[in-house]
């Protein structure tokens, strides 16, 4: 079994390797946000659930088009997107350090929802699954937030934190999928691949 992973995320690469899925990384141009086919800008009135599905599917389907134009061996293409929802707002990756600080301040001492959508495109069809988890942060001091942002860890992560990194110190409760919060829910991903006829174990 071998697939294409349409993602630059090192966490997703690690998690696929963890469950024994062989893959090649299918890179977009300079980055996913520069491809018009994968516009990660939330649309007016778009809910977080609709948003994460739209982006995950767009990445998988754009990857399928690239596979054809680059004349690569036909294989399933897996993509994923992770976003946070707080008070109905979609929170993605921080634009800069000040934005990361503002995001973490908004998460301090309260719960938020982490949504990771996984899409697999294979032989003209796209299958999709959603992982939804709840995360609660303890109250964070301003010094803690600034020190964490200074490490650089939040800058490429939805919600400005990585639960598998130093931000694990902030988390007092989770309900759902730990790997989904990381960026690829391995249980749901395995079930999705099985639905497409692939043997995972």
Residues 6+ apart with CB under 8 A from 147: none
Distance CA 81, CA 64 (A): 16
Token pair of 49, please?
């659930």
For residue 36, indicate whether it is catalytic: no
Tracing tokens 């004349």 back to the chain, one arrives at: 71
Contact call for residues 178 and 114 (beta carbons, < 8 A): no
Is the Cα torsion angle 74, 196, 36, 101 positive or negative in sign?
negative
Full 3-state SS string of 101-117 = HHHHHHHCCCEEEEEEE
Residue whose C-alpha is closest to residue 3's, from 25, 34, 30? 25
User: Per the residue annotation, which of 24, 36, 81, 122 is the catalytic one?
Assistant: 81
Please report, for residues 1, 2, 59, 77, the alpha-carbon distance to residue 21 in angstroms, rounded to integers and kept in the order given. 7, 7, 19, 12
Helices and strands (H, E) in the chain, number of each type: 6, 7
| DSSP state letter for 38 | S
> Annotated active-site positions, please?
81
């Amino acid at each position: 079994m071998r697939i294409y992973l349409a993602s630059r995320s090192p966490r997703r690469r690690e998690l696929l390797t963890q469950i024994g899925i062989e893959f090649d990384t299918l890179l977009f141009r300079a980055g996913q946000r520069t491809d018009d086919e994968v516009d990660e800008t939330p649309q007016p009135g778009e809910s977080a659930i609709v948003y994460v599905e739209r982006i995950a599917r767009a990445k998988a389907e754009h990857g399928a088009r690239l596979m054809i134009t680059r004349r690569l061996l036909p294989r399933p293409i897996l993509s994923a997107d992770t976003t946070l929802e707080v008070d109905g707002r979609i929170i993605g990756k921080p634009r800069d350090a000040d934005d990361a600080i503002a995001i973490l301040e908004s998460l301090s001492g309260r719960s938020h929802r982490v949504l990771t959508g996984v899409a697999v495109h294979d032989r003209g069809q796209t299958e999709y699954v959603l992982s939804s988890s709840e995360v609660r942060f303890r109250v964070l001091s301003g010094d803690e937030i600034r020190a964490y942002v200074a490490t650089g860890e939040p800058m490429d992560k939805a919600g400005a934190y990585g639960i598998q990194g130093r931000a694990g110190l902030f988390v007092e409760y989770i309900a759902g999928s730990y790997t989904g919060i990381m960026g690829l829910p391995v249980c749901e991903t395995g079930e999705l691949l099985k639905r497409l006829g692939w043997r995972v174990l």
